[in-house]
């Protein structure tokens, strides 16, 4: 096999199931091998940010590697924001980039797509990936590939692989995956002893599940553990969608002042808060009603466990969870929680639509037709997603980039074969909505709920006096036909209900429902968030 075939085979062995990409002249040679070898299917999109988001979403939903393949310079640098999002939110995204051939670098001429030096791109990606390699040595390539892919999975963070274009077809030996990381059994024992003791001493322990639980494929184990220990479970904002398909004592999503008071109260009054794979970021914790003292929590994150004032290093989350399960063999503890409820039963009338009406309509839809996985963009649509009953969700809840929703939805369908629901605002749709034009070629048929308030409404909530937040009215519904899908504009609750029913019944084409929402009308969750933040700021 040649170097590219070995790389593709290794990607597959490490869990990748498909590649998203856009070629260029530096990438044509390795793209040819991707296509002809048929080791992994290739889906090309239209713009590199979309490629990165789609591959990231595939990684998130499958809990395995996502692969984004691009060309040097204009291609790879166009994807920086998507890779930064994956890094921040701990998604195992593999970036493949073409690169100049070894002899080209010696020509003395500046090469097209070169930013500063030929090494600039490598240096830029160093900042937002956990491991990197330029495959310029066929002898070393198998070990380098094995190391980089192991890093990607171990840290659940993006990695960067550059393939010089004159290296793609050189003969190359098999990639032997690295041996599993060896955990120190004594450290693990001591750590689990202490965690269990803390949880047993606590009067009201709570487990908060974060994204690493999904990244490392631990949802069923965490559900079992919480049942055996009698631990009520919440997710963070970023972890929303976790445990949706598990038998777990899931109460709801913690959002501090923006959340349901019962959940906020449960978390903030807990004397044994167990943060499992939880990113300690502002969108998860800055909106607390009563500030959570992180030193009093138990935190398992980034391959270590922090308890009180000390740290157990080199303990991967999976090892901790597995060992806890061994130590707590069951049976389940008898206890019950009162799960947060969600709005249902949308009135089919002529009233204008609020974001919470959309959540209600989706809840009705899923109750009738079954759950759908969701991809959400940043904007009020993401706060609205918190009012939709628990289902798999991919969303940029921490890094908060716009433009994620539509391409992530395409990534979901490519990765799972399931029909996704995409939630997106008009501002975000203006960025990457165009990628829907690729659905037709691949037979993807997502249902897209476009929250059209002709506004950057989230920004308006922070700074109402600024006129630049007014966006024009774009005829999104009319654009759908040209992109190969069906589009409809709805302005009343009755129309919304009928459009959703029709969308569910129509397969084979994407279904775009452009929902007109009056400016200034927020979801209940965003309204609580804005009021809460104002209250917290006023108290400072
Ligand atoms: C890539 C900053 C955060 S929210 C927002 C902006 C511009 C407005 C979103 O408008 P949209 O949704 O989509 O119509 P809604 O509900 O507020 O009306 N550039 C990027 N990411 C972010 N987060 C911004 C700018 C921003
Ligand atoms: Mg908007």
Residues 202 and 160 in one domain: no
Residue 290 and residue 281: Cα distance in Å, rounded? 16
Residues in the chain: 540
Which residue minimizes the CA distance to atom 19 of ligand 1?
Answer: 402
Choose which residue among 82, 401, 427 to substitute to test ligand 1 binding: the one with the highest number of ligand atoms within 8 A of its C-beta. Answer: 427
Same domain, 276 and 385: no
- State which residues form the domain around 452: 355-525
Instruction: Name the packing angle between helices 317-327 and 219-229 (round to 10°).
Output: 40
Q: For the beta carbon of residue 467, count every other beta carbon within 10 angstroms.
A: 6
CATH number at residue 113: 3.40.50.970
pLDDT in tens, 375-417: 999 999 999 999 999 999 999 999 999 999 999 999 999 999 9
**Alpha carbon of 379 to ligand 1 centroid (Å):** 6
310, 327, 344 — which closes off a domain? Answer: 327
Residue 350 lies in a domain: no
CA distance linking residue 259 with residue 386, whole number of Å: 9
Residue 345 within any structural domain of the chain: no
Q: Which two tokens stand for residue 384?
A: 């609205």
Given a cut of 80, whether residue 540 has pLDDT beyond it is no
According to the model, what pLDDT value does residue 214 have? 96
* DSSP string covering 493-522: HHHHHHHHHHHHH--SS-EEEEEE--TT--
Say if residue 144 is in the same domain as residue 279: no
- Residue 333 inside a domain? The answer is no
Q: Is residue 44 part of a domain?
A: yes
Residue 539 within any structural domain of the chain: no
Query: Residues with beta carbon inside 6 Å of ligand 1?
Result: 378-380, 400-403, 425-428, 451, 453, 455-459
Runs of H (alpha helix) within 202-302 = 211-215, 219-229, 261-268, 282-285
Please give the tally of structural domains in the chain. 3
Task: State the pTM of this model.
Answer: 0.97
418 and 295 within one domain: no
Decide if 346 is inside a domain.
Answer: no
Does any domain span residue 535?
A: no
Query: Does residue 272 share a domain with residue 408?
Result: no
> What distance in angstroms lies between residue 451's CA and the mean position of ligand 1's atoms?
12
Instruction: Based on the fold, state whether residues 402 and 287 are members of the same structural domain.
Output: no
456 Cα: distance to centroid of ligand 1 (angstroms):
6
Q: Is the pLDDT of residue 120 over 90?
A: yes
Classify residue 337: in a domain, yes or no: no
Least confident of 80-89, 107-116, 176-185, 352-361: 107-116
Q: How confident is the model at residue 461, as a pLDDT?
A: 94
pLDDT single digits (tens) 456-490: 999 999 899 999 999 999 999 999 999 999 999 99
Q: Is there a single domain that holds both residue 449 and residue 366?
A: yes
Q: What are the tens digits of pLDDT across the range 274-330?
A: 999 999 888 888 788 777 888 889 999 999 999 989 999 999 999 999 999 999 998
């Amino acid at each position: 096999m040649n170097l590219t075939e070995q790389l593709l085979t290794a990607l597959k062995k490490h869990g990748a199931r498909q590649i998203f990409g856009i070629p260029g002249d530096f990438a044509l040679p390795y793209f040819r091998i991707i296509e002809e070898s048929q080791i992994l299917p290739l889906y090309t999109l239209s713009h590199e940010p979309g490629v990165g988001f789609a591959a990231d979403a595939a990684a998130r939903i499958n809990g395995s590697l996502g692969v984004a393949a691009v060309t040097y310079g204009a291609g790879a640098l166009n994807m920086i924001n998507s890779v930064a999002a994956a890094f921040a939110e701990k998604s195992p995204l593999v970036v493949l980039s073409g690169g100049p051939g070894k002899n080209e670098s010696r020509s003395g001429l500046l090469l097209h797509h070169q930013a500063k030096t030929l090494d600039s791109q490598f240096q830029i990606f160093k900042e937002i990936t956990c491991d990197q390699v330029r495959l310029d040595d066929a002898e070393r390539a198998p070990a380098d590939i094995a190391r980089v892919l192991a890093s990607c999975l171990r840290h659940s963070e993006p990695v960067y692989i550059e393939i010089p274009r004159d290296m793609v077809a050189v003969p190359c030996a098999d990639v032997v995956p690295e041996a599993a990381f060896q955990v120190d059994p004594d450290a693990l024992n001591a750590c689990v002893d202490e965690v269990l003791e803390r949880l047993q001493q606590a009067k009201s322990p709570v487990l908060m599940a974060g994204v690493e639980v999904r990244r490392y494929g631990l949802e069923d184990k965490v559900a079992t553990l919480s049942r055996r220990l009698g631990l009520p479970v919440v997710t963070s904002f970023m972890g929303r969608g976790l445990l949706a398909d598990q038998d777990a004592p899931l109460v709801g999503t913690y959002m501090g002042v923006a959340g349901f008071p019962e959940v906020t109260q449960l978390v903030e009054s807990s004397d044994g808060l167990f943060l499992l794979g939880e990113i300690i970021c502002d969108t998860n914790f800055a909106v607390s009603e009563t500030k959570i003292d992180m030193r009093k929590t138990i935190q398992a994150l980034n391959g270590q466990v922090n308890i009180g004032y000390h740290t157990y290093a080199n303990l991967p989350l999976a090892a901790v969870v597995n060992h806890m399960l061994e130590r707590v063999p069951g049976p389940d503890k008898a206890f019950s929680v009162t799960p947060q409820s969600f709005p249902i039963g949308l009135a089919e009338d002529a009233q204008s639509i609020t974001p919470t009406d959309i959540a209600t309509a989706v809840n009705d839809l899923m109750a009738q037709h079954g759950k759908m996985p969701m991809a959400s963009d940043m904007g009020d649509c993401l706060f609205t997603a918190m009012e939709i009953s628990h289902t798999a969700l991919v969303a940029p809840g921490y890094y908060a980039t716009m433009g994620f929703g539509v391409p992530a939805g395409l990534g979901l369908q490519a990765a799972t074969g399931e029909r996704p629901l995409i939630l997106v605002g008009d501002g975000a749709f203006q960025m990457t909505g165009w990628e829907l034009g690729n659905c037709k070629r691949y037979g993807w048929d997502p249902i897209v709920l476009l929250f059209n308030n002709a506004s950057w409404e989230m920004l308006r909530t922070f700074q109402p006096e600024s006129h630049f937040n007014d966006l024009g009215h774009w005829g999104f519904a009319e654009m759908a036909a040209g992109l190969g899908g069906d589009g409809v504009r709805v302005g009343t609750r009755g129309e919304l209900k009928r459009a959703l029913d029709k969308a569910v019944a129509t397969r084979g084409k994407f279904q775009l429902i452009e929902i007109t929402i009056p400016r200034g009308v927020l979801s209940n969750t965003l309204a609580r968030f804005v009021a809460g933040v104002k209250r917290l700021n006023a108290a400072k």
